Amino acid sequence: MSHKRHRKFNKRPALQPQLGKKTDTLRIIPLGGLEEVGRNMTVLEYKHDIIIIDMGLQFPEEDMPGIDYIIPNISYLRGKEKFVKGVIITHGHYDHIGAIPHLIPRLGRPPIFGTPLTLGIIAKRQEDYKNGGGRLDLHAVDNETKLRLGVFEVEFFGVSHNIPGSLGVIVNTPVGLVVHTGDFKLDLQPSGDTPADIAKIARLNEQNVLVMLADSTNAPQPGHQFTEQEIMLNLEDVFSKTPGRLIIGTFASLLGRIQQIIQLAEKYGRHIVIDGYSMKTNVEIAQQLGYMKIKPGTLIGFEDMRRFPSQKLVILCTGAQGEGRAVLMRLANREHKRARIEKGDTIIFSSSVVPGNERSVQRLVDTLYREGAEVINYKMMDIHAGGHAKQEDLKLMLKLVNPQYLIPVEGNHSFLRQHAKVAIQTGFDPKKIFIADNGQIIEFTKQGGRITNKRVPSEYVMVDGLGVGDVSSVVLRDRQQLAADGMIVIIATIEGKTGTLVGQPDIISRGFVYMKSSKRLIDETQAKVKEILKDHDPESSLNDTYIKNKIRDDLGQFLFQKTERRPMILPVVIVV
């Protein structure tokens, strides 16, 4: 198990502040998003009033076999459900909305606020999620909306990201103004995205902002983020010069990019087939809500493709991360039911590679080349702009807002540190930058702020199928061991009165050795089990727990000497 995981599961006992204790203190409590990219959720608490910003999931890491995703731990809010005045969602990406079906019912279904597109994606996910169904109290907002949620007055400002309807949040609290940027970039030339509300952001400078929580996802990267207009021009160059069919892979959530591709297809007389359930769903929602405009006849089905020459076609699909069952991989592997890669196709990867997916993406690219296609990715030309501010953009946001305190959020710990360095380069006081861990309480009064040593529970809550939180570190450790060295099952039948072995022990190997080609080792293992069971004192009463532990320990040592592997050993003792 990695050092990070060890620390997470063995963190000091978390503090549970006393319910009902009244102080004139604003508590900012990140329940996720400060030690990873994803699982974003932040609690603002003043006396008996609580609001929550975002409620996202985190995708599993490589050492989490079988886990679907991870959600925030809301143990701190148990018993405080009636104090939660509202949940504010900054935008519709899963790392900001993905935990809603699991957590909203446990919080008493408080009202959820977001832009219409964000709410549309939330509602669709709720329909699709069998175990988290039920009513959601959804309320649409925009950058002109003002809310009163208990003691909190909430306003919004538009930010550019890579999905329309993205917002930053302004919270007027009894101790001062709190600004949460959400995911943002400062794109003055957006294309298909929501424009940044620069004027409103700049006016915050005059309002004596107490603290800003700011996106750190791209804090390690120098310079300015590419504008969507630059990407549009580069994509247009591909559209204008490519003689054959275009197959474009991107994230289903990059609705701004999808709108660009649709506009270019219409300009150059191409028809588009959209494939991938999540992408189709998001496009339908965006169309219904007016975020995306598509001319009649632009979108066609696979059955219509034969009516048009290759140079008039675009397949827009999911799978740019090399996911095994996504559309692009099925096309490459000739497993797609309705289409194949053809010689002369040009494949565009219009998204950056998520860390950890490099090998699967490389295998996908190799397979596409074998099929006769050409491949263009963001490393060859600028055909993907990230949705997050780089260092120079972070400096500009800091200067525009000019907060007294800064809390870097949304990134691994090193990203938060890099964000702090960037802020210090602008002259920001390092003592007023709070780099927290998940669960660490940051307190503000009218006299100022401080990062405390008090913590609330923030350990991973893992979702595996219909199970939520029932997979612990012990289960993960077992899965890791099974993945590394497999397992061996020893079935021994023992006479109850004497404790003697009846017949030969049976051995089953899964993921350890192939039994047909390892007959000698299996025979030696059977002999070792017999030897272990002979050591049992026939005068003593039968203790099957002792016998199982002895088989596990002695056989484990024996197999390691023979193979230098440590399979999981599962003894099954049958007493007759």
Confidence at residue 472, expressed as pLDDT on a 0 to 100 scale:
61
Confidence bin at 381 (pLDDT 50/70/90): very low
Q: How confident is the model over 261-275, as pLDDT tens digits?
A: 999 999 999 999 999
Closest CA to 29 of 425, 364, 315, 444: 444
- pLDDT bin (cut points 50, 70, 90) of residue 290 is confident
Taking residues 133-139, report their average pLDDT: 86
**CA distances from residue 429 to 11, 232, 410, 420 in whole angstroms, order as listed:** 30, 39, 21, 10
Residues contacting residue 550 through CB under 8 Å, at least 6 positions apart:
532, 535
Residue 450 neighbours by CB under 8 Å, 6+ apart: 442, 443
pTM for the whole structure: 0.79
What is the C-alpha separation between 143 and 162, in angstroms, rounded?
17
Given a cut of 80, whether residue 64 has pLDDT beyond it is: no
Averaged pLDDT of the chain: 85
> 514, 494, 512: which is closest to 555 by C-alpha?
512
**Can you give 477-515 as a three-state secondary structure string?**
HHHHHHHHHCEEEEEEEECCCCCCECCCCEEEEECCCCH
Most trustworthy range by pLDDT among 48-57, 235-244, 256-265, 326-335: 48-57
> What pLDDT is recorded for position 75?
94
Chain centroid to CA 489: how far? 36
pLDDT band at 429 (very low <50, low <70, confident <90, very high): very high
Share of the chain above pLDDT 90, in %: 46
Local structure of 81: helix, strand or coil: helix
Give me the residue label for tokens 């600004």: 179
Which band of pLDDT confidence, cut at 50, 70 and 90, is reported for residue 5?
very low
Structure confidence at residue 308 as a pLDDT band (50, 70, 90): very high
Q: Is 269 left (phi over 0), alpha (psi -120 to 50) or beta?
A: left
Return the pLDDT at 18.
44
Confidence of residue 349 (pLDDT cuts 50, 70, 90): confident
Going by the DSSP 8-state scheme, the letter that residue 302 receives in this structure is G
- Contact indicator for 536, 553 with CB cutoff of 8 Å: no
Compute the distance between CA of residue 534 and CA of residue 528 in angstroms, rounded to an integer. 10
pLDDT digits (tens, 9 = 90+) for 441-482: 999 999 999 999 999 999 888 776 555 655 566 666 666 666
How far lies 443's CA from each of 26, 41, 283, 361, 389, in Å? 6, 17, 42, 44, 27
SS3 at position 525: helix
Q: Which residue from 262, 157, 232 is spatially nearest to 385, judged by alpha carbons?
A: 232
Q: For strand 246-249 and strand 167-173, is the pairing parallel, antiparallel, or unpaired?
A: unpaired
Q: Determine which of 232-236, 239-243, 375-379 has the lowest per-residue pLDDT on average.
A: 375-379
pLDDT at 469: 58
